[in-house]
Structure 1
Amino acid sequence: MSEKFELPSPMTMPRFSGIRSFMRLPYQQEIEKKDFVILGVPFDTSASYRSGARFGPEAIRRSSVLLRPANVFHQIRPSDYITGVDGGDVMVIPGNTQQSHQNITAHVMEWAKGGTVPIVLGGDHSISLPELRALASVHGPLSLVHFDAHGDTWDEYWGEKYTHGTPFRRALEEGVIDPSRSIQIGMRGTVYDPNDINEARELGFEVITADEIRVIGLDETMKRVRQRVENQKIFLTFDIDFLDPVYAPGTGTPEIAGFTSAEAQHMLRQLAGLRFVGFDLVEVLPAFDPTEVTALTAATIVFEFLSLLAVSKRSQSEKVV
C-alpha cells in the first residue's frame, strides 16, 4: 500500500476540473485499510427547522478543490504521512431516520474495523449517533470533543427521540461515549429552559459556553479540552453553527455571537497529538450559503482534521527513528 496519496497538481490540471471528490482525492468505494476515509452522509430528515443539509457533502467537496496540500501552521503536508480516499456517500433514505442510521453505522463500522479513521461530511447532527455506535463497537466507549452552539443533549423533540438535537443524550444512554471524558464547547443562544446547559453538566459532560470562553480565552479552553480527554480515544464533532453566522451563514439553526473562522482554526490546531478515531463536520446548508463561504470554511476545517492525523503519524515515525 502506498504511504502517500497523490493529489492532482493544479499546475498541470486546473482545480476546477475533474470529479468532485474531497480535495480531488482518489474515489474508492471498496473498503480497504487506509489512514482515513472521507464519507458523505446526505441526510437531513432529523433537522428541526431548515432542511437542506443533505446537500452539504456535495458543497463541501466542491469547495475543497480550492485547498492546497500543505499546512503552514503544523509545517506538514498530510499526504507525506497519511494515505486516504474519498469513499463516496453512505446510502440514506429520506424520511426514514432509523434505517438511515443503521446504514450509517454499518458502513462506518466496515471502514473503522480495518483501522481507518472515518471523516464524515453531513448532513444534520443526528448522524453523529450512528457514527459513534460504529466507532464504539470497534474502539469501546469514546471521549467526545464537541464544537457547537447547541449541546444536542435534549431528550426529545415532538415526542421523537432521534433528532439533530438529541444525539449525545442517546449516545450517553447507549454507553458509546464516556461523559466523564467528554467536553462540549461553544454553547450559546436562547434555550428552552434556563437549566438546559446545567442539565448537560448533570449528565456528566464538561461544558464551556461561548461566554465562558470569552472570559478564559481560547488557549485556556483548549488546555481544558486536552486535560479532559487525556490519552483517551476521541471522536471530534464540529457543527458549523459553532461559528458566527457572519462567517458561516449556510446552516440550519444559526446563533449570533459565535466564533470567527480564525478562532475555530486556532482551537483545532491546539489538539495535535491526541488520539482521534473519528471526525465529522455537520449542518452545512448550501441554500443559505450564496457565496459558498460556509462550504469553504467547512472544507478547510476538514483539512485541519487531516493535518491532526498527519501530525500524529509524523510523531510516531520520529519516535521509531
Structure 2
Amino acid sequence: MVQEKSTGVTQEHGGTKARETACTSSPSAWLQSPTTAVPRTRGDGPEQQLPQAGWQREVERGHAFGLAPADSIRDRTISTFSRGELPHFAGINTFLKAPYLEDVHQVGGHDVAVLGVPHDSGATYRPGTRFGPQGIRQMSALYTPYNYEMGVDLREQITLCDVGDIFTIPGSNEKSFDQISKGMAHVFASGAFPIVLGGDHSIGFPTLRGICRHLGHHKVGIIHFDRHVDTQETDLDERMHTCPWFHATNMAHAPARNLVQLGIGGWQVPRPGVKVCRERNTNVLTVTDITEMGLEAAARFAVERASDGTDCVYVSFDIDCIDAGFVPGTGWPEPGGLLPREALKLLELVVRNVTVCGLEVVEVSPPYDVSGITALMATRVVCDAMAHLVISGQLPRQGRPSWIQEACAMDVGQAWR
C-alpha cells in the first residue's frame, strides 16, 4: 500500500474523493443504455430498419474481382475467390476483412481507418506485442460486422478500411515514435477516425502526439484503461511502455488534469509513477474503487474529468486492465483486474457519452496467448467501440470536426534528451 499522502492530488487507493465526486453528480440521465432489460421478440430488432446495401456491394465486388461461383454452387452470392467476410477461415488478413487501403492518401474517404503499430521495443518484460496487430486482425476474422444486442451493422452504417502497419524500427523507440506520430497525424488530419492496434503501450505517447499536431488551440483528454499507471519519466533509462503519459501530458494540448486511469492496481504499480500522478493531479480509479462506486458512477467520473475543458477525448485501452485469467497473452499480466463484461460496460458508458477522437488497443502479445483469446478480446473492444460511436451519433461523422486543424507547432513542456 502506498503510504505517502498529499492534498488536492490524484484519487487513488480507496478513491474517496473520486467516489464523492461521482456519487454526488446529477442523476444518470446522461447514460444511454436502459437500466432494465426488455426481452426481445421476433421481428422487433432495430436492425430491421437498416439497409443491406453494403452486403450487396460485397457480393457484387466478389463476383467482379473474384469470379462467379462454380455451376454446382446453389448459393450464388458466393464467389470463386474469397473477396469478403466469408469464409471466416480464409481471406486476406485485414481487420474485419475490411478493404486494404494501399494508398494512404485516400484514407479521408473512409469513416474509420485501422492502423497497426507493430512495436515492442518499449517492453520491459515479455516481448511479442510487435505481433499484436496481425494477431488481432487474424482473430477478427471470426466476427461479422453485425451485433444482435446493439442492433448495429457496421458494414451498412460506416465505411471501414485497414491502412496496414506503421513501419517501425526494431531497437529504436525514438525513431519508431517519429514514424508513429507522422502516420497517426496523417490519418487524424484526414478526418477518418483512427483506431490503432498495438504494439506495447509506449506507443501511447507518439499516437497522441500525432493527434496533438492537428489540434490547433484545442485540447484533448485521455481515458486510460490499464492495471498500471504508465507515468514514469523513464524506465531502464528510456521512454518505455511504462512512460507514455508522463510525456503525453507534457504537451499543452493534453493536460494531466484530464488524464483518467481506470482499473489500476495490483503489485506492478511503481512508486515513481504514483509520485508523478500525485504531482500532476491526474485521476486514478482502482478496481476496488470501481467495484465500490459501481460502473455508472466510475464512468461518469471518467467522462467528467477527461472532458472538463477539453474538446475531445482519446481512449487508450491496455488489454491487461482485464483480469489475467481472461487475457494471458500480454506483456505484464496482473491478476485481479476487471472482468471482461465490466470492462466492456465501462467502455460503452465512456464512448457513448463523450466526444472521442481516437482509440488504441495495446499490449496484445500473441506468443503468450492461448487459443487467441487475448487477441479476440481486443477485437471485441474495437468492434464494441465502433458500435457505440455509431449509436451515439459520432460515426459516421457529419463533416470535419472543428477540433481537427492544420499542422501546428507543438508545445511540449519538457524536451526529451
Partner of 1:225: 302
Identity of counterpart residues, as a percentage? 32
Range with bigger deviation, 117-126 or 306-315: 306-315
The one-letter code matched in structure 1 to 2:117 is V
Q: TM-score, normalised by structure 1?
A: 0.91
Partner of 2:203: 127
Kindly indicate whether the alpha-carbon contact (under 8 Å) linking 1:273 and 1:308 is maintained by their aligned counterparts in 2: no
User: Could you tell me how far 1:167 is from its partner in structure 2?
Assistant: 0.6
* 1:286–1:218 Cα change, 3 Å: same
Partner of 1:236: 315
* 2:380 paired with 1:307: no
Taking the aligned partners of 1:91 and 1:159, their CA distance within structure 2 comes to: 24
Kindly indicate whether the alpha-carbon contact (under 8 Å) linking 2:390 and 2:396 is maintained by their aligned counterparts in 1: no
Secondary structure, aligned partner of 1:138: coil
The one-letter code matched in structure 2 to 1:156 is T
Kindly indicate whether the alpha-carbon contact (under 8 Å) linking 2:231 and 2:277 is maintained by their aligned counterparts in 1: yes
Kindly indicate whether the alpha-carbon contact (under 8 Å) linking 2:257 and 2:280 is maintained by their aligned counterparts in 1: no
Secondary structure, aligned partner of 1:60: helix
Kindly indicate whether the alpha-carbon contact (under 8 Å) linking 2:111 and 2:397 is maintained by their aligned counterparts in 1: no
Taking the aligned partners of 1:311 and 1:64, their CA distance within structure 2 comes to: 21
Partner of 1:270: 349
Secondary structure, aligned partner of 1:168: helix
Kindly indicate whether the alpha-carbon contact (under 8 Å) linking 1:132 and 1:176 is maintained by their aligned counterparts in 2: no
Partner of 1:197: 274
Kindly indicate whether the alpha-carbon contact (under 8 Å) linking 1:82 and 1:313 is maintained by their aligned counterparts in 2: no
* 1:300–1:173 Cα change, 3 Å: same
Partner of 1:261: 340
Partner of 1:283: 363
- Aligned match for 1:36, one of 98, 112, 115: 112
User: Could you tell me how far 1:291 is from its partner in structure 2?
Assistant: 1.2
Partner of 2:31: none
Secondary structure, aligned partner of 2:147: coil
* 2:98 paired with 1:25: yes
Partner of 2:288: 211
User: Could you tell me how far 1:159 is from its partner in structure 2?
Assistant: 2.1
Range with bigger deviation, 216-225 or 16-25: 216-225
The one-letter code matched in structure 2 to 1:309 is L
* 1:196–1:90 Cα change, 3 Å: closer
Taking the aligned partners of 1:51 and 1:98, their CA distance within structure 2 comes to: 18
Give the aligned CA root-mean-square deviation in angstroms: 2.3
Taking the aligned partners of 1:144 and 1:299, their CA distance within structure 2 comes to: 21
Kindly indicate whether the alpha-carbon contact (under 8 Å) linking 1:154 and 1:169 is maintained by their aligned counterparts in 2: yes
Taking the aligned partners of 1:107 and 1:262, their CA distance within structure 2 comes to: 32
Taking the aligned partners of 2:198 and 2:376, their CA distance within structure 1 comes to: 14
The one-letter code matched in structure 2 to 1:165 is T
Range with bigger deviation, 280-289 or 267-276: 267-276
The one-letter code matched in structure 2 to 1:240 is I
Partner of 1:164: 241
User: Could you tell me how far 1:307 is from its partner in structure 2?
Assistant: 1.2
Secondary structure, aligned partner of 1:279: strand
* 1:193–1:235 Cα change, 3 Å: closer
Kindly indicate whether the alpha-carbon contact (under 8 Å) linking 1:5 and 1:83 is maintained by their aligned counterparts in 2: no
Taking the aligned partners of 2:188 and 2:173, their CA distance within structure 1 comes to: 22
The one-letter code matched in structure 1 to 2:204 is S
Taking the aligned partners of 1:46 and 1:196, their CA distance within structure 2 comes to: 16
Partner of 2:194: 118
Kindly indicate whether the alpha-carbon contact (under 8 Å) linking 1:8 and 1:24 is maintained by their aligned counterparts in 2: no
Taking the aligned partners of 1:86 and 1:317, their CA distance within structure 2 comes to: 18
Q: TM-score, normalised by structure 2?
A: 0.71
| Count of matched residue pairs | 314
User: Could you tell me how far 1:8 is from its partner in structure 2?
Assistant: 5.5
The one-letter code matched in structure 2 to 1:146 is H
Secondary structure, aligned partner of 2:219: coil
Secondary structure, aligned partner of 1:173: coil
Range with bigger deviation, 228-237 or 273-282: 228-237
The one-letter code matched in structure 1 to 2:267 is T
- Unpaired runs of 5+ residues, structure 1, are none
- Aligned match for 1:153, one of 215, 231, 255: 231
User: Could you tell me how far 1:224 is from its partner in structure 2?
Assistant: 1.0
Partner of 1:246: 325
- Unpaired runs of 5+ residues, structure 2, are 1-52, 60-74, 79-85, 399-417
Taking the aligned partners of 1:276 and 1:192, their CA distance within structure 2 comes to: 27
Range with bigger deviation, 304-313 or 140-149: 304-313
The one-letter code matched in structure 2 to 1:241 is D
User: Could you tell me how far 1:285 is from its partner in structure 2?
Assistant: 0.6
Question: 1:14-163, aligned counterparts within 5 Å?
Answer: 14-31=87-104, 32=106, 33=108, 34-139=110-215, 140-160=218-238, 162-163=239-240
* 1:214–1:235 Cα change, 3 Å: same
Kindly indicate whether the alpha-carbon contact (under 8 Å) linking 2:158 and 2:395 is maintained by their aligned counterparts in 1: no
User: Could you tell me how far 1:80 is from its partner in structure 2?
Assistant: 2.8
Q: Which of structures 1 and 2 has the bigger CA Rg?
A: 2
User: Could you tell me how far 1:44 is from its partner in structure 2?
Assistant: 0.1
